[in-house]
Structure 1
Amino acid sequence: MFAASPFANHAWFKALIMAIAALLALPQSVLAQEVDEDRSRALQRIARSGDAHISVDLYADGAPTAGETWMLALRFTPSAPEWHGYWSNPGDAGLGMQLVLDLPEGWEAGEALYPVPKRLLIAELMNHIYEGEYAVLVPVEVPANAVFDGIPDVTGTVEFLACTDEICVPQGAVLNAGQSGDFARWRAEAAPMLDAQGTFAIAGETLRIGIPLPESVELPEPYVFIANTQLVEYAPFQNFWRDGDRLVVEIPLSEFRSGEADRIEGIVSFGEEAGVRFVAKAGEVAAGGERLVTMNSAEGATPPLWSLILGAFVGGLILNIMPCVFPILSLKALSLARAGGSEAEARAEGTAYTAGVVLACVALGGTMLALRAAGEQVGWAFQLQSPGVVIALLVMAAVITMNFAGLFELPSVDTGNNQGRSAFGTGLLAAVAATPCTGPFMAAALGAALLLPTPFALLLFGMLGLGLALPFLIIGFVPALRKRLPKPGPWMETFRRFMAIPMGLTALALVWLTVQLGGRGFALFALVMLFGIVLALFVVGRLQQAGKMAWPAFGLIAAPFLIFGAFALPYAYAPPERDLSASLLEPQAFSRATLAEARASGQPVFVWFTADWCVTCKVNESVAIEREATAEAFEQAGVIAIVGDWTVRDEEITMFLTEQGAAGVPLYLWYEPGQEAEQLPQVLTSEMLAQRTLRDR
């Protein structure tokens, strides 16, 4: 190239060319030197750490064949049972294996194949581990034109972490492949790959994966290990549905994730170290199927079914004296008054009322389960998180108030004939209005209902309704109790009018709740619509008193206001932000990050979950939480207060409640430094929190 140049014979030109060549070669030599230095440092580090706690050996599955896959294996052997290693995605803590192999030129190592890992929860940190001896397979693609004699000399290094429940030690080893090894057993232990590909979709803060798994595969303890790091939360519940040859799992997404995944890999564990690998691409994950189980890695299995049934029944019975029921005592009192009639009427009254309560509880529970199966994060009392439902209840409360006051007659809740239909409607309304909050025994049963197959879950909701209706059912069928009640007479009309007062207060409470849910403008438009309905009912009452046809007038007057509400309310909906500055405890708004930061501070933490529609919550706050004595005790002990407002649907709070085995509010959690959550009673006394604060100080 340079021979044709007129400068080729000049010594200075040759020197220049040599200098340029040296400069061009310098980066490669420096890079090679850096690689050698990094490798040297790695070998020195491995030599220092050694494999004292978990030894590792590299094996080859016989001699390779050109153009085929050659299998290597790393066998890890703990020195004692307390030491464990980690899966490729170690979970919240730990470290995956770091492997470097020196293979012949053109040979490529594939993705390592692991057995099904186990779960180990330490201080709310989920670890994906292996206990005892285990092997990791490494497939190697051998080129078709490869030339070799026998087993090639394969060396390398591996670094990993060996841990007990208390300490972790970095480990490493210099590898040199040997020929022997139990590859038949190691291949059988590695999780096989499914032939078909799955799909995944993200719904809010939840990852939904559809995995093609034959219906014949039994799933006693399903759990999905996600290989993608920092994509999902590892410790919370996983929800499973089975629809023929498709398994659907829901897993909460991690708040630390970055970007969107286009491919998800993982292992579906069936329990007892059995499972399969899967790959899922972004696509549609249809809802539906039979609910299987929700695994709680912290809590374990659900209690026996008989204890859950008893808990639901007793919880419904106790609900009769819970503050949640106070606003509808007028309905119950009126039913008691009616029970003083004939024996047949009393039995019909008690049976119809019970049927209404049980049907409402089963319907609410079934709707909640259906919404959760469709990917919605809802919990018990979800109906009062919906502005539309609250407005409907507001209209009902106003209508019943006017009826009780005698402004018009409505046979379905009248004290005249049609008592069975009246009691049934009363039962429906009683259940809808009385079950937003959870009480003793009821919380555990409803939390377990989220874990059980649908038929058993509906059974628990039915038993809850039976417990709620039991006092009135007994009165209807026990003459001795009915004899103690006042006999029917003119006093019942006066009593009914008096009961309009608490029902009217319920309507006012629902107006306040409408403001909390949708803002003042939303509530104002709701009141305009309600005014039209009330005006129409007032006209109906006047026409009824005059003996004229009344209900067509109701349609003519109310229709414009109803149309106005249908169009105006959706545009006026604007949920207000909760003002935490008014609280004496100066709480922080709940989030997982806030809770984690508070617990890491080394101070006690008190977390309470509330809602503006939960009467029990508000009673507890006035009696025990928002008190000067509680605030002073918290300040002295350095307690960090956190509040979760569930008035409006919040997926993060819903999922956290589910993880704690609670289907609704109130829920009170106390965290001592370095300890797990302690659930406090759902009914708080005035000194409970102050005493709890100072108990261990």
Structure 2
Amino acid sequence: MRFLAGVLFALVLAGAAQAQPASSGPVNTGHLTAELVSSAQGIAPGQTIHVALRQQIQKGWHTYWRNPGDSGEATRLDLTLPAGWTAGAFVWPAPHRMPIGPLVNYGYKGEVLLPLTLTAPAGARPGGTVALKGKASFLVCEEICIPESADLTLALPVTAGPAAPDPKWGPAIARTLAAAPKPAGLTAAFRKEGGVLKLAVAGGPLKGADVADAYFFPFSGTAIDHARPQAIERGSEGLTLTLTPGVDFQAGDGPAALPGVLALGEDGPAYELTAAAGPAPAGAAGLGAPPAKA
């Protein structure tokens, strides 16, 4: 009887172990530690979950956003997936401004998660395992920049039904996704006036908001001069930023659209928007600059 109980207990432990994702574990590339982590302990046929590239960056060093700014290179992850499996693009958290001499770059310090979706085909077979393999590439910078990379793996059990959330990385990935910039119904327009570019934005999230530290991060690395200040004018429904145009505006009338992220401070909310060339929306200016902070 004791022998039978021991066998049953061992089988339970084995089943629990199989339900947990298996990965290559953290890989130290020199100035950061990287790994692939999952929001769930497995994935069911036809299900979509999130996996994330986690970076733990050495103090004093940084990596880069999708638009690195005046210099740098965005983090990349080249995934190899079995036939029928698909993965989405990174969901990029709002970056931080990083002045370096006369330049301003956009990126991350400390710990950052870059989530992406993973979708299983409807014909995935429960009881098996899907093995994700990826090569992550980083440009890691302090006063100098060093290209680093890591070969990462993540094995997920294929479950008959939706797997339980991963107790550690599930909440962490959920927080990252919740805070990531996303569209919020803002109306945005831009126009070139002489040597400056006026970006006017209005909408519910900006009405009455503290816009004193607002900053626009364009998706294009050549849309604006990143090192120049962005003067802010308040409006009853939003704000207008005065930007210095980049090489995108040197030929003709410039681009028809200006997509990017409007962040209200380093730790404030951030919104994804696409500004169209044209007149400013009502209520985007007229109240002067924000009050100076004490």
Task: Provide the rounded CA distance (Å) in 2 between the counterparts of 1:303 and 1:197.
Answer: 26
Does 1 or 2 have the higher relative contact order (CA < 8 Å, sep 6+)?
Answer: 2
The AA in structure 1 aligned to 2:264 is F
Residues 257, 74 of structure 1: CA spacing in aligned structure 2 closer, same or farther, 3 A cutoff? farther
Match 1:203 to one of 177, 189, 192: 192
Task: Provide the rounded CA distance (Å) in 1 between the counterparts of 2:120 and 2:240.
Answer: 38
The AA in structure 2 aligned to 1:219 is V
Superposed CA offset, 1:356-401 (max 9, x none): xxxxxxxxxxxxxxxxxxxxxxxxxxxxxxxxxxxxxxxxxxxxxx
Task: Provide the rounded CA distance (Å) in 2 between the counterparts of 1:231 and 1:268.
Answer: 14
Residues 186, 70 of structure 1: CA spacing in aligned structure 2 closer, same or farther, 3 A cutoff? closer
Q: Is the 8 A contact 1:223 1:269 kept in 2?
A: yes
**How far did 1:137 drift?**
1.1
Match of 1:171 in 2: 148
Residues 283, 202 of structure 1: CA spacing in aligned structure 2 closer, same or farther, 3 A cutoff? closer
Residues 214, 68 of structure 1: CA spacing in aligned structure 2 closer, same or farther, 3 A cutoff? farther
Task: Provide the rounded CA distance (Å) in 2 between the counterparts of 1:146 and 1:292.
Answer: 58
Residues 276, 183 of structure 1: CA spacing in aligned structure 2 closer, same or farther, 3 A cutoff? farther
The AA in structure 2 aligned to 1:168 is C
- Report whether the alignment pairs 1:253 with 2:245: yes
- Report whether the alignment pairs 1:96 with 2:96: no
Q: Is the 8 A contact 1:110 1:139 kept in 2?
A: yes
Task: Provide the rounded CA distance (Å) in 2 between the counterparts of 1:184 and 1:236.
Answer: 37
- Report whether the alignment pairs 1:153 with 2:131: yes
Match of 1:269 in 2: 263
Superposed CA offset, 1:279-302 (max 9, x none): 2142434263323349xxxxxxx6
Q: Is the 8 A contact 2:239 2:285 kept in 1?
A: no
The AA in structure 2 aligned to 1:76 is Q
Match of 2:52 in 1: 73
Q: Is the 8 A contact 2:28 2:34 kept in 1?
A: no
Task: Provide the rounded CA distance (Å) in 1 between the counterparts of 2:224 and 2:240.
Answer: 16
The AA in structure 1 aligned to 2:60 is E
**How far did 1:50 drift?**
6.7
Match of 2:273 in 1: 279
Match of 2:17 in 1: none
Name the structure where helix makes up a greater proportion of residues.
1
Task: Provide the rounded CA distance (Å) in 2 between the counterparts of 1:264 and 1:109.
Answer: 27
- Report whether the alignment pairs 1:135 with 2:125: no
Q: Is the 8 A contact 2:130 2:155 kept in 1?
A: no
Task: Provide the rounded CA distance (Å) in 2 between the counterparts of 1:187 and 1:245.
Answer: 30
Residues 200, 106 of structure 1: CA spacing in aligned structure 2 closer, same or farther, 3 A cutoff? farther
Match 2:229 to one of 237, 242, 267: 237
Task: Provide the rounded CA distance (Å) in 1 between the counterparts of 2:212 and 2:247.
Answer: 30
The AA in structure 2 aligned to 1:290 is L
Match of 1:112 in 2: 90
- Report whether the alignment pairs 1:185 with 2:162: no
TM-score by length of 1: 0.32
**How far did 1:123 drift?**
1.6
Residues 88, 216 of structure 1: CA spacing in aligned structure 2 closer, same or farther, 3 A cutoff? same
The AA in structure 2 aligned to 1:284 is G
The AA in structure 1 aligned to 2:134 is G
Percent of aligned positions with the same letter in both sequences? 25
Superposed CA offset, 1:312-368 (max 9, x none): xxxxxxxxxxxxxxxxxxxxxxxxxxxxxxxxxxxxxxxxxxxxxxxxxxxxxxxxx
Match of 2:30 in 1: 52
Q: For structure 1, which runs of at least 5 residues remain unmatched after alignment?
A: 1-48, 295-301, 305-697
Q: Is the 8 A contact 2:70 2:221 kept in 1?
A: no
Residues 50, 134 of structure 1: CA spacing in aligned structure 2 closer, same or farther, 3 A cutoff? closer
Q: Is the 8 A contact 1:158 1:173 kept in 2?
A: yes
Q: For structure 2, which runs of at least 5 residues remain unmatched after alignment?
A: 1-26, 157-165
1:162 aligns to what SS in structure 2? strand
The 5 A counterparts of 1:553-632 are none
The 5 A counterparts of 1:628-639 are none
Task: Provide the rounded CA distance (Å) in 1 between the counterparts of 2:197 and 2:125.
Answer: 48
Q: Is the 8 A contact 2:224 2:243 kept in 1?
A: yes
**How far did 1:173 drift?**
0.8
Match 2:286 to one of 285, 289, 301: 289
Aligned residue pair count:
246
**How far did 1:140 drift?**
3.3
Residues 246, 102 of structure 1: CA spacing in aligned structure 2 closer, same or farther, 3 A cutoff? same
1:292 aligns to what SS in structure 2? coil
Task: Provide the rounded CA distance (Å) in 1 between the counterparts of 2:288 and 2:90.
Answer: 33
Q: Max radius of gyration: which structure? A: 1
Match of 1:323 in 2: none
Task: Provide the rounded CA distance (Å) in 2 between the counterparts of 1:289 and 1:66.
Answer: 55
Residues 104, 198 of structure 1: CA spacing in aligned structure 2 closer, same or farther, 3 A cutoff? farther
Q: Is the 8 A contact 2:257 2:277 kept in 1?
A: no
The AA in structure 1 aligned to 2:221 is T
